[in-house]
Structure 1
Amino acid sequence: MFDTSTLLLFTTASILLALTPGPDNIFVLTQSALKGKLVGIVVTLGLCTGLVVHTSAVALGIAAIFQASALAFNLLKFAGAVYLLYLAWGAFRAGASTLDNDTSREVSLSRFYLRGIIMNVTNPKVSIFFLAFLPQFTNPENSSLPLQLVALGGIFILSTLLVFGAISLLAGVLGQWLRRSGRAQTILNKVSGVIFAGLALKLATASR
């Protein structure tokens, strides 16, 4: 379906993009530091599930709607911004005792998995990015174009899973050390709230 050079170029680009600071990997970083590496990995799985949705949207042509319709784009991005503000509010309200009792072993992991999905799916810029990025590595003469898009999306998701998984592990170790201090816990939560609020503002002001 793809030649070796195309696969190598696409995989390298995918890994570099996953490493580039953005809403998703920052989200993984903060959640891992605050809640532990297991929660970070679960959030990563949720984000990657969201990428499955975006890949399907591109393969089916649905992503083109967000590129063509300002209304659809704005509705989805504002929904995402509101959700991020909700997360920011929760982070600002939480204190050291909340963090101490809300470890990865006691919280509902499904909640963080769903949080990752919502975080990713409600960002229409991901679909538009996929719409612009994935077709560059396809060749209509090789096989079905939708099938190629799905395959490329799968490689991108695997690259993201590996990179974000590594971020989760590293941030989780750092967070474990920081969470021994009540003051550090509070500071981590406030920083997380500021990051969420900043991401909400960035998403709300994003354009196609």
Structure 2
Amino acid sequence: MGADSLTSFLLAALVLELTPGPNMTWLALLTATAGRRVGLAALTGIALGLALQAVLAVVGVAALMAAWPGLYRVLHLAGVGFLLFLAWESWRDSGDPAHHRPGGGEDGAAGFRRGLVANLLNPKAALFFVTVLPGFLPQAASAGAALALSAVYVALATAVHLVIVLAAGSLGGWLADPAVSVRMHRIQALALVLVAVWLFWRG
């Protein structure tokens, strides 16, 4: 793969990752309310979910989804449902005093699980691996080449998400006020609903 093709791929991946979506919104608000430790745990789950998506794409599962749109629709609706579940949970937690103490009442294990599941059910990532990534590979490229390029994408996405975690973590002191934390939980819930609606509408 030439330098020009790699540069073009990196630009395409960067544009995708900077587009507001479930990961960016959820990760920023989670880190701001629960702290950087939980945000980093969630980031690990996101990275693992993306890596598993890449492996599945290389072995043909994502190609299968492209061949049978009904299978993609199931994954797509599951992703929308998961976002709505997170929205409900965030709104519910806004009424729980435990979630407005320092640390937000969340732990790293919960953040990791959410990040992992959300990205295993992320159709945007699946479509990227099956439709966009192959266009940057030479003809008859090996599975190893596809995995290597997928690893580049996961690394870039993780770097973008790390910047989000570090920036959002600086708001932790301001969010120590329980009243602010309640509002942030509700804002997070509404934002997740909007993202779920947007994802459903995009189809």
TM-score, length of structure 2 as denominator length: 0.90
Q: Which amino acid aligns with 1:37?
A: R
Mapped contact 2:44–2:112 kept (Cα < 8 A): yes
1:150 aligned to which of 147, 151, 155 = 147
Cα–Cα, structure 1 residues 11 and 29, in superposed 2: closer, same or farther, change >3 Å? same
Residue number in structure 2 paired with 1:168: 165
Residue number in structure 2 paired with 1:177: 173
- Once the two structures are TM-superposed, the CA of residue 197 in structure 1 deviates from its matched residue by 1.3
Q: Which amino acid aligns with 1:103?
A: G
Residue number in structure 1 paired with 2:119: 120
Residue number in structure 1 paired with 2:110: 111
Residue number in structure 1 paired with 2:182: 186
Q: Which amino acid aligns with 1:12?
A: L
Mapped contact 2:27–2:39 kept (Cα < 8 A): yes
Residue number in structure 2 paired with 1:80: 79
Report the RMSD for the aligned CA atoms in angstroms.
Answer: 2.0
Over the matched positions of the two proteins, sequence identity in percent amounts to 25
Q: Which amino acid aligns with 1:101?
A: R
2:193 aligned to which of 167, 192, 197 = 197
Structure 1: distance between partners of 2:107 and 2:181: 20
Gap regions ≥5 residues in structure 1: none
Structure 1: distance between partners of 2:156 and 2:5: 15
Residue number in structure 2 paired with 1:53: 52
TM-score, length of structure 1 as denominator length: 0.88
Structure 2 residue matching 1:93: 3-state secondary structure = helix
Counting matched residue pairs gives 202
Structure 1: distance between partners of 2:92 and 2:101: 15
Structure 2 residue matching 1:66: 3-state secondary structure = helix
